[in-house]
Structure 1
Amino acid sequence: MSRTPEQPGLTPKFCFNQTALRDFLRISRGTVDDTISQNLNALVTPGTSKSFDPLSTTERAPRPIHRRPIDPQACHDFKNKVLFPSWQSRSDVLSYCAAVATSPDPDDPDHVIRETEDLKARERIIDERLDPYSARYFPREARTEALAGLMRNERMVENIIRSRTWGLVGERCENGELDYEGALDAWRRGEGRGR
């Protein structure tokens, strides 16, 4: 079974380091969600099926391994020990960094530069007849704004990936009537952890 990466220490410095943030999300998704078919196939124990049945040779197309049902206990353990903890770890990072993105940033290193550029832009004399581009001014984006945009994108990606993963898990394991959000909430409440 896949081993999920450890959740990094949640600090504003980690969130503003977009490379580290994206790497954690990419590695976590790659370990569990991107390889979900392989992870589910690994749950099927070879040789545990019933003994050889001569009538099975009359079947035209035997059921491929990726369609074989998985032992319910193995599915339950995979969801509770690998899938949901991975999702929860990413949810924690996304929620924390989204909170950082909406908080004031007193340590912004570009704050003074942005204020200087804004002041210069206000003092410029604009004559669009002489230079039609003179009115253009593109202020630098604060790092909290950049982080907020990244968090919006990553949340959308996360929803797409979780929906796809949950659909594949549902084909091989019994997911009940819950969607992935309901199943994750049930796991968070402890309903799925103890079974």
Structure 2
Amino acid sequence: MSQAKSTSAPALSPQFCFNERLLRDFLLLSRSTIDDSITQNLNALVTPARDGFDPSSTSARQIDSKTGSTVNPTACQSFTDNVLFPSWQMRSDVLNYCAGVATSPDPEDPDLILRETESARDRERVVNERLDPYSGRFFPREARTESLATVVRNQRSVEEIIRARTWSMVTERCGGSTSNWEEALNNWRERKQQ
């Protein structure tokens, strides 16, 4: 039985976070490897010929989707503990780190001087909206920390949706867990700490 493998953790640095394309690509790759292909990952846990091949199983089309769809609980536990939750934790770690970068001062911001100059020019402008109704408009450049904060906030929302969808598939196929994904992930974190 070959299990899916999560993507490896990136080297965390402010440069990684400020490269929004790289950050998004990492999250996209991690999600596509585990969460987007959750059905295939769970199907890979099923051992179809466990009891030997039954020729009568091919005589009629199986319409009931529940027939044989439950995965061995041990295989499910192994998948969630060794693949799914570590993948989620890694993405949480990356998003938490980048959120910290987004809320920290950024002395190396390449646009800092340009923004300060634009802001000073804006304060000196004479605005006469009667002559030019558009003269009052000023759209200051966004600091890269603000842009990063927006990306992190959006990606956390995406994570919530994806994890809820993935967890519903896992509980459906592996036997109904009464906990939601947050409780299950927190329980895994506690077990891991012991």
Q: Which residue is equivalent to 1:48?
A: 50
Q: Which residue is equivalent to 1:121?
A: 122
2:181 aligned with 1:180, yes or no? Answer: yes
What pairs with 1:93-132 in structure 2 (closer than 5 Å)? 93-132=94-133
Offset from partner CA, 1:71-129 (integer Å, 9 cap, x none): 11100100011100000000000011011111111111100000000001111111111
Q: Which residue is equivalent to 1:152?
A: 153
Tell me the C-alpha RMSD between the 2 structures. Answer: 2.3
Q: Distance in 2 between matches of 1:39 and 1:159?
A: 20
Unaligned runs of 5+ in 1: none
Q: Distance in 2 between matches of 1:80 and 1:100?
A: 29
Conservation of the 8 A alpha-carbon contact between 1:2 and 1:39: yes
Structure 1 residues 180 and 158, CA, compared in 2 at 3 Å: closer, same or farther? same
Q: Distance in 1 between matches of 2:54 and 2:156?
A: 48
Q: Distance in 2 between matches of 1:3 and 1:166?
A: 17
Q: Distance in 2 between matches of 1:7 and 1:42?
A: 24
Q: CA deviation at 1:24?
A: 0.4
How many residue pairs match? The answer is: 192
Structure 1 residues 20 and 51, CA, compared in 2 at 3 Å: closer, same or farther? closer
TM-score by length of 2: 0.91
Q: CA deviation at 1:25?
A: 0.1
Amino acid at match of 2:37: T
| Runs of 4 or more above 6 Å deviation | 56-60
Amino acid at match of 1:6: S
2:22 aligned with 1:20, yes or no? Answer: yes
Structure 1 residues 93 and 144, CA, compared in 2 at 3 Å: closer, same or farther? same
Structure 1 residues 82 and 188, CA, compared in 2 at 3 Å: closer, same or farther? same
Q: Which residue is equivalent to 1:11?
A: 13
TM-score by length of 1: 0.90
Amino acid at match of 1:92: D
